[in-house]
Structure 1
Amino acid sequence: MMCIVSFAWKAHPKWQLVAIGNRDELHARPAESAHRWEDSDHLLAGRDSRAGGTWLGISEQGRFAVVTNLYGFGTPRPDRASRGDLLKDFLSGKGKYADIAAADYADFNPFNLITVTQGEARVHTNRPDKITKPLDHGVHGLSNGSIHQPWAKSPHLNEMLGQWIAKQSDDPVMLLDGLLDRNSYESRDPSSPVIQSDPEPENSAIFMCDPIYGTRCSTVVAIDHDGNGIFIERRFAPSGSAIGQTRLSFAWPTPG
């Protein structure tokens, strides 16, 4: 799962969508880097080698999705469906969860989710209740906290993306450096609970450098108003050093 995402929707003069974020995970968990999937060649995403799903992806049929864990609701149940399958089915357009509006969110452990389809961006969550609602034009953030009470680091990443937009910068590659922030940000609500069993504390950094559980990759996705898109993934070793980068080009359908 991704652990922090900032998402700009129709807020930039060139780019209709800009999404940036970090995926934090056990370094020992195997995963494929971002690529065009052979079984759905319109789908671009990384892939979890164990469960088969993804944490962030693009379909050239005009869909986007990114999911984060949601902490604070107990230990995840291993018998539930993989949240990566929700994205895989939605993005590929086939499978039990292809119709995101009809998906039973009770099948999954807690999550936050942003989707784009048919020209509309929406945010979804399944704890404490199922919520799905449209996103206005602007910058929005997801973390491992509630969509109503995001973790303290989330506004800082949103601010960085907002400043990039305000400068009308047109090179999204520059945003990768902002995802390297290792500062810890204290919760604005001192009474906010931190579940000590969770691998990522609430006051963690945007970039987590840890030899066991840390930032595995940084991702930037940008799609311009003509539907031309880029997908950039930078990968990291347990030491925090960069070990590879992938850049993919794609195209969304243009409005008829």
Structure 2
Amino acid sequence: MCLIAFDHHPGGEWPIRLVANRDEFHARPAAPLAVWQDAPEIIGGRDLEAGGSWLAVHRRGRLAAVTNLRDPRLKVAADSPSRGALVQEALTCPDLPAWLDRLATGEAARYAGFNLIAGDGRRLWHLHRGLDAISLREVSPGLHGLSNASLNSPWPKLIGARQGLGASLRHGRWPEDALAAMADPHPADDDQLPETGVGLAMERMLSSPFIVGEHYGTRAMTWLSWHASGRIEIGERRFGPNGVALGESVERLAPSA
């Protein structure tokens, strides 16, 4: 996952509403949003190369999503664990705050750079594994965005996605307007680009909310609605090379213990 915008309102009618884009090489095998056959309590897309996920939910009421960190200076061992495994572990660990604390106090250093958001509809946490530090904090209520830096870093595509989600909720056009903002293929102006060490041409290509390319691009666009009753609705739109639409799936989860 490379771009997430979410509205977090614990105690409200909608504790979480979220939209997200997953950018990846088109050749990397992945399964669409569905119930996992070997773990039917989990619903989400799945990376078939490493076995993890970029965004998924658990039937008992838990959400997790991960983004990579774009920082070429951060080096890790070639056999470091997959960051997608963090999503599955966040959903299935018996004590989410304790598990996050263990990661924040050192275990996260085994992974390449990442951002993880995880929560249960009442509390939501952001764990950041960066070059210089590992940090964990509880996310405050309100509109937030996350890409490949840290929470609410002022990248143009993050700002656009967050604004699109906010307008969608204000005008009662959720999720359509939020998804339209995530589908914007226009790159940012050069003077607005971040400097992440990947070169100007790559910064330009990666600066749009929706990335169109023959070999690399936006492969999945996800939206999620979490109702105060515990009901969760999650949908996914899938795309192939050059942004060709490949299909759409929607799953609905009733509250469960």
Q: TM-score scaled to structure 2, two decimals?
A: 0.87
Matched, 1:225 2:228: yes
Q: Distance in 1 between matches of 2:189 and 2:87?
A: 31
Q: CA deviation at 1:251?
A: 2.8
Q: Distance in 2 between matches of 1:65 and 1:148?
A: 18
Q: CA deviation at 1:107?
A: 1.2
Aligned residue in 2 for 1:41? 40
Q: Distance in 2 between matches of 1:246 and 1:198?
A: 36
Q: Secondary structure in 2 aligned to 1:15? A: coil
Q: CA deviation at 1:38?
A: 2.1
Aligned residue in 1 for 2:26? 27
Q: Distance in 1 between matches of 2:38 and 2:226?
A: 23
Query: Would you say the 8 A contact 1:4–1:144 is kept in 2?
Result: yes
Between Structure 1 and Structure 2, how many residues are aligned? Answer: 249
Q: Distance in 1 between matches of 2:244 and 2:226?
A: 28
Q: TM-score scaled to structure 1, two decimals?
A: 0.87
Structure 1, unpaired ranges of 5+: none
Q: Secondary structure in 2 aligned to 1:85? A: helix
Q: Distance in 2 between matches of 1:252 and 1:199?
A: 46
Aligned residue in 2 for 1:84? 84
Evaluate the alpha carbon distance shift between residue 196 and residue 219 of structure 1 in structure 2; reply closer, same or farther with a 3 A threshold.
Answer: same
Which moves more between the two structures, 222-231 or 172-181? 172-181
Aligned residue in 2 for 1:181? 184
Q: Distance in 2 between matches of 1:205 and 1:12?
A: 33
Q: CA deviation at 1:76?
A: 5.3
Q: CA deviation at 1:226?
A: 0.9
| Greater share of residues in helix | 2
Evaluate the alpha carbon distance shift between residue 83 and residue 32 of structure 1 in structure 2; reply closer, same or farther with a 3 A threshold.
Answer: same
Structure 2, unpaired ranges of 5+: none
Q: Secondary structure in 1 aligned to 2:242? A: coil
Which moves more between the two structures, 85-94 or 69-78? 69-78
Q: CA deviation at 1:197?
A: 6.5
Q: Distance in 1 between matches of 2:87 and 2:71?
A: 22
Q: Deviations over 1:83-127 (max 9, x none)?
A: 111111121337xx9923323111110011111137201111011
Q: Distance in 2 between matches of 1:105 and 1:160?
A: 32
Q: Distance in 2 between matches of 1:42 and 1:188?
A: 46
Aligned residue in 2 for 1:130? 134
Aligned residue in 2 for 1:201? 203
Aligned residue in 2 for 1:66? 65
Q: Distance in 2 between matches of 1:150 and 1:44?
A: 31
Q: Secondary structure in 1 aligned to 2:87? A: helix
Query: Would you say the 8 A contact 1:143–1:150 is kept in 2?
Result: no
Matched, 1:165 2:165: no
Amino acid at match of 1:237: G
Q: Secondary structure in 2 aligned to 1:8? A: strand
Identity across the alignment (%): 30
Query: Would you say the 8 A contact 2:146–2:152 is kept in 1?
Result: no
Q: Deviations over 1:43-80 (max 9, x none)?
A: 11111101000000101122101111111242654321
